Structure 1
Amino acid sequence: MKAILMTTAGEANVLKVADIAEPQLSSPTDILVRLKAAGINPIDIKLRSRGTFHPHRLPSVLGCDGAGIVEAIGAAVTKFKVGDAVYFCNGGLGGHQGNYAELTTIDEKFAAHKPQSLSFEEAAAAPLVLLTAWEALYDRARLQANHHVLIHAGAGGVGHVAIQLANIKGAKVCTTVGSEAKARFVRDLGAELAIAYKQVDFVQAAMAWTKGKGVDIAFDTVGGKLIEQTFAAVSIYGDLVTILEPPADLSWKVARTRNLRFSFELMLTPMLMGDIDLQVQQAQILKECAELFDQGKLKIHVSEVFKLEDAAKAHQLLEAGSMTGKLVLAS
């Protein structure tokens, strides 16, 4: 089968199209999926440039997100049948084969039926960002109706989904954006306030929006010094969740003074730690999100679709920054 191989860590040109052996069912609960599309995420860029979590197993196939059609099933599979359309976040970290390929295998416990209302490209763009935003807002920050939420980079992959998930719970959302086009985009998704951070102090804007209280929840998808800057925008006893590692020289003084609750969100943890129960929980989240998609309460924005063999070009575009929504590879 055709796949995109990463033979060494480096620039985007280390990704090469190649013919590799088709994966085989290795467990009675495995399903074989004919991939129609694979989502591209920042973790793919990091693994490609720095090395995977299993560097001794190169060459490797990247890509955590996938969507496709079940082509074969193990003897104990009960959740799916041949011909079913599925989507999932599985593999692509250097161990189990990723989804920049024509076929993959996955335990049925970790997959969900594809939302009927989404194309395969849209479905492949969704899992990682859905799980990240869901866990950050619902599980870490314990989001409630009428909470005021600040989401950084609301037009991005995680951000544009987070806005919608917050709205679904009845929260009010403000978000930082870098252009008027992105401001229109996030307002269409339900953001009450779009903060043009290049022209406006986002802390002052958030404080004015909350009448001096500060937001109940801040969700950081950018990292760096922005984490520290955001402390002052959060209400006393509020929550800040980040998907990035804070810099070593970050000052925690404001966070401590305001008695903030600080959380990390890494939706890859269940896969990295081999925690089957948590992986099953994530598949259940995808099932619930599929219902939200099909009810018209949730949507995913795909900015551009690339052919599988153009994976390097897609990586270069994502690395350039300022993305709206997601990029996808179509098999």
Structure 2
Amino acid sequence: MQAILMNAPGPPEVLQLKEVDAPELQRPGDMRVRLKVAGVNPVDTKLRSRGTYYPDKLPTVLGCDGAGVVEDVGTQVTRFKPGDEVFFCNGGIGAHPGNYAELAVVDEAFAARKPATVSFAEAAAAALVSITAWESLFDRANLQSGHTVLIHAGAGGVGHVAIQLAKSVGAKVITSVGDEDKAEFVRELGADEAVIYKQKDLVAAVNAWTEGAGVAVGFDTVGGKVLDQTFAAVRVYGDVVTLLQPGPDTDWQTARMRNQRVSLELMLTPMHQGLFEAQSHQSWILSQCAALMEQGKLKIHVSHQLSLAQAAEAHRLIEAGGMMGKVVLTTD
């Protein structure tokens, strides 16, 4: 089969299309999926440039997201059969081959049925960002109906999903974006307020929108000084969730004085730590998101569809910044 191999950390050019052996079923619960589309995420670019979690296992195949058709199943697979359409988040961090390939092997417990109403591109693009947004808003911050939430970079991959998940439970959303086109995009997704951070003071805008109270939940998808801004925009006893590791210069005073609960979110933890039940729970999250997609309450925006051979270009697009939605690689 064809796959994109990473032989060493480096620039996008280290991603090379090669012919490799097709993966075999290893355990009774495994199934082999003929991939139609692989999602591309910022974490892929970081693993490519800095090295994977398992540097001693190079060469490797990146790509955590996948969507395709089940081709073969192990003896204990009960949820799926050959011909079923599935999507999942598995592999791609260095321990096991990822999804920049024509075939992938995944435990049935980690996969969800692809909604018939969405394309393979949308399904593959949904996996990692949907799990990240769901865990951040609901598992970490306990977002509920009537809550107010600040979502940074609302037009991005995680952000545009987070807006829709928040609205699906009846929360009110204010989000930050870089320009008017993105502001219009997030309003179409259901955001109640969009703040162009290059034009307005974000904290002042949030305080005005909440009549000085601050939001119940702040979701930081950017990191750096944005985390400090989030503390200042979240109410006393509110929740802050960040996807990035706080830096040594993070100003914790506001969070401390407001008794805020601060949570860290890394959806790759179950895969990295080998936590089977936790990763199985993530497939349940995908099933919930699939239901929302079928109901028209969750739409995944795919901004670029590139061929597998264009993996390096996909990484360049993401590293350039300013993306709306997701980039995917197709195997057709």
The alignment's TM-score, normalised by the length of structure 1, stands at 0.99
Runs of at least 5 residues in structure 2 that lack an aligned partner in the other structure: none
Q: CA deviation at 1:228?
A: 1.1
Written as runs of structure 1 = structure 2, the 5 A alignment for 1:160-179 is 160-179=160-179
State how far apart, in whole Å, the 2-side matches of 1:244 and 1:110 are: 25
1:190 aligns with 2:202: no
CA displacement 1:205-246 (0-9 Å, x = unmatched): 000000000000000000011101221111000011000001
CA RMSD of aligned residues (A): 0.5
Matched residue, 2:118: 118
Q: CA deviation at 1:251?
A: 1.6
Written as runs of structure 1 = structure 2, the 5 A alignment for 1:166-245 is 166-245=166-245
Written as runs of structure 1 = structure 2, the 5 A alignment for 1:35-54 is 35-54=35-54
SS in 1 for 2:31: strand
Q: CA deviation at 1:297?
A: 1.1
Matched residue, 1:329: 329
CA displacement 1:56-91 (0-9 Å, x = unmatched): 111110000000000001111101000000000000
1:300 aligns with 2:285: no
Q: CA deviation at 1:165?
A: 0.4
Q: CA deviation at 1:39?
A: 0.2
SS in 1 for 2:137: helix
Q: CA deviation at 1:159?
A: 0.2
SS in 2 for 1:126: helix
State how far apart, in whole Å, the 2-side matches of 1:61 and 1:202 are: 39
Runs of at least 5 residues in structure 1 that lack an aligned partner in the other structure: none
State how far apart, in whole Å, the 2-side matches of 1:246 and 1:115 are: 36
1:57 aligns with 2:51: no
State how far apart, in whole Å, the 2-side matches of 1:288 and 1:257 are: 37
Overall identity of the aligned pairs, in %: 61
Amino acid at match of 1:177: V
The alignment's TM-score, normalised by the length of structure 2, stands at 0.99
State how far apart, in whole Å, the 2-side matches of 1:270 and 1:66 are: 17
Amino acid at match of 2:235: S
State how far apart, in whole Å, the 2-side matches of 1:269 and 1:34 are: 26
State how far apart, in whole Å, the 2-side matches of 1:148 and 1:217 are: 6
SS in 2 for 1:60: coil
Matched residue, 1:101: 101
Matched residue, 2:276: 276
CA displacement 1:7-49 (0-9 Å, x = unmatched): 1000000000000000000111110000000000011000000
Matched residue, 2:88: 88
State how far apart, in whole Å, the 1-side matches of 2:228 and 2:194 are: 21
State how far apart, in whole Å, the 2-side matches of 1:194 and 1:76 are: 49
Shift >6 Å, 4+ stretches: none
